[in-house]
Amino acid sequence: MNFKGSRDKAVEELNQFIENNLVEYSKLRNFDFGPQKRDNTSCLSPYITHGLINEVEIINKSLKKFSFVKNEKFIQEVLWRVYWKGWLELRPNVWTDYLEELKDIKKNFINNKDYLAAIEGKTNIECFNEWVNELKKFNYLHNHTRMWFASIWIFTLNLPWQLGAEFFMEHLFDGDAASNTLGWKWVAGIQTQGKNYLATEWNIKKFTNNRFQNIKINEKASPKIAKKNYSIVEKSFSNPHLLENKMLLIFDNNLSLEFTKFNDHNFKKILIISNTNEFRHIQLSKNILNFKTLLINDQLNRLKKKSIAVEVIKINELKNIKEPVYALYPTVGENLDYINSNQLKNIQFLYREIDQFSWQFCNKGFFNFKNYIPKIISKFN
Ligand SMILES: Cc1cc2nc3c(=O)[nH]c(=O)nc-3n(C[C@H](O)[C@H](O)[C@H](O)COP(=O)(O)OP(=O)(O)OC[C@H]3O[C@@H](n4cnc5c(N)ncnc54)[C@H](O)[C@@H]3O)c2cc1C
């Protein structure tokens, strides 16, 4: 498994997956055959998370190859990500509360031997240890494995989900505030309240092709209890009718301006914002920071080739910009936190059309959202 730092490579991988592997996706997607054989899922998440390729592009390409009916599962998964993002946008306090809880929990667990054994891959559960090493080495885990990992972390090792979510964010190339936080909460049983996800020995054995033996885990735990209910906040995601000649900020979730509807606009200058650990609540590993730098430089070079005035700046330099600017909306997460906590009021957000349209359907559960998938697709296909 080798993730490359360029849009060209990401598109190449997307095309290859659609051409060769999409046909068997729904049948094989739940199998984790190990890091050397990853072609049964797309492995596109590191690129999608950084906006190098986008959901509309992926869905439309897949629909050129197969009908919606043959393609439904894959499209559902791609839109699941849009749903999680929208769900969190409507309840942003879930993210801020998570960060607050994490701060407190970390103080208590800094020397906890079970926690240290878990993050060093030294527990007595062989498959778990292997996944820890795999995560650190490849910065990616299969979806099913993320579910087993989180379930073992919470219900067998009895560690707080907040620390597990932090560990994933630290090491995943696709680390994303919405998919990760809500994925962990879902496994714990506090996202869909009262329903936890319990990994079982037979399920792990079956879907890893019997790569692991002797898996002693807690298969009978009760869901964690949610401390709080979150109501939906009123938010507008509308764009200005006419764009002015201002500067545009791009964060690391939207690294392909050329493929957005704002492509043709003549911005005064483009500033690509790089965020370092100094300004993050969750410290990212070197691999992740290096990967982000590669992707940012790829966007920089693509824009330079089009003779657009563009520059990379550090996020703390935003404080020096006093004039009104636009920004491709960074979504709930560390970059938006920086803007909010520094009260940068001169920034007007521009929203992606897919988000503007889909997030209105994120007020309830995913099963409700699923009903709107044909509507979403027909709007963008
Ligand atoms: C505890 C936990 C933490 C997770 N953390 C993240 C994260 O930080 N970032 C992230 O992008 N995904 C996260 N996921 C979702 C999912 O595991 C990954 O998106 C998926 O494994 C990526 O592999 P792929 O590209 O081969 O997916 P494919 O199966 O090929 O799916 C195509 C695309 O659909 C989206 N997708 C697929 N499954 C999901 C899902 N369950 N939730 C949301 N989007 C999905 C991804 O963008 C993915 O690239 C998490 C899941 C769990 C259970």
Q: How far is 149 from 159, CA to CA, in rounded Å?
A: 12
- pLDDT-derived band of residue 227, with 50, 70 and 90 as boundaries? confident
Nearest-atom number in ligand 1 for the CA of 78 is: 34
Q: Tell me if the pTM is above 0.75.
A: yes
For residues 203-216, give the mean pLDDT: 95
Does 183 contact ligand 1 (Cβ within 6 A)?
yes
67 CB-contact burial (10 Å; exposed 0-12 / middle 13-18 / buried 19+): exposed
1 pLDDT exceeds 80? Answer: no
Give me 61's structure tokens: 């390409």
Residue (of 61, 84, 253, 86) closest to 174 by Cα position:
253
Give me 345's structure tokens: 């009021």
Coil, strand, or helix at residue 105?
Answer: helix
For ligand 1, atom 39, the nearest C-alpha belongs to: 77
Q: How far is 173 from 298, CA to CA, in rounded Å?
A: 16
Does 81 contact ligand 1 (Cβ within 6 A)?
yes
- pLDDT-derived band of residue 192, with 50, 70 and 90 as boundaries? confident
Q: Distance from the CA of 172 to the center of ligand 1, in angstroms?
A: 11
- The amino acid sitting at 308 is I
Please report, for the chain, how many H helices and E strands are present, in that order: 17, 5
DSSP 8-state secondary structure symbol assigned to residue 210? T
Coil, strand, or helix at residue 11?
Answer: helix
Residue 58: φ, ψ to 5°? -65, -50
List beta partners, residue 271: 249, 311
Q: How far is 285 from 367, CA to CA, in rounded Å?
A: 35
How is the beta sheet containing 247-250 ordered, strand by strand?
A: 310-314, 270-274, 247-250, 325-328, 347-350
- pLDDT-derived band of residue 206, with 50, 70 and 90 as boundaries? very high
Nearest-atom number in ligand 1 for the CA of 164 is: 1
Burial string for 134-169 (b: 16+ CB within 10 Å, else e) reads bbbebbbbbebbbbbbbbbbbbbbebbbbbbbbbbb
- pLDDT-derived band of residue 264, with 50, 70 and 90 as boundaries? confident
Share of the chain above pLDDT 90, in %: 94
Does 80 contact ligand 1 (Cβ within 6 A)?
yes
For residues 148-156, give the mean pLDDT: 98
> What's the distance, CA 312 to chain centroid?
23
- Whether 381 and 63 have beta carbons less than 8 Å apart is answered as yes
Coil, strand, or helix at residue 301?
Answer: helix
* Helix, strand, coil fractions of the chain, as percent rounded to 5: 55, 5, 40
What does pLDDT average to over the chain?
96
Max CA-CA distance within the chain?
Answer: 63
Does 55 contact ligand 1 (Cβ within 6 A)?
no
Give the pLDDT of residue 4.
87
154 pLDDT exceeds 80? Answer: yes
Burial string for 354-371 (b: 16+ CB within 10 Å, else e) reads bbebbbebbeeebeebee
Residue (of 17, 180, 30) closest to 99 by Cα position:
180
Q: How far is 68 from 75, CA to CA, in rounded Å?
A: 8
- Whether 350 and 251 have beta carbons less than 8 Å apart is answered as no
Share of the chain above pLDDT 70, in %: 100
- pLDDT-derived band of residue 176, with 50, 70 and 90 as boundaries? very high
- pLDDT-derived band of residue 214, with 50, 70 and 90 as boundaries? confident
Give me 13's structure tokens: 């991988």
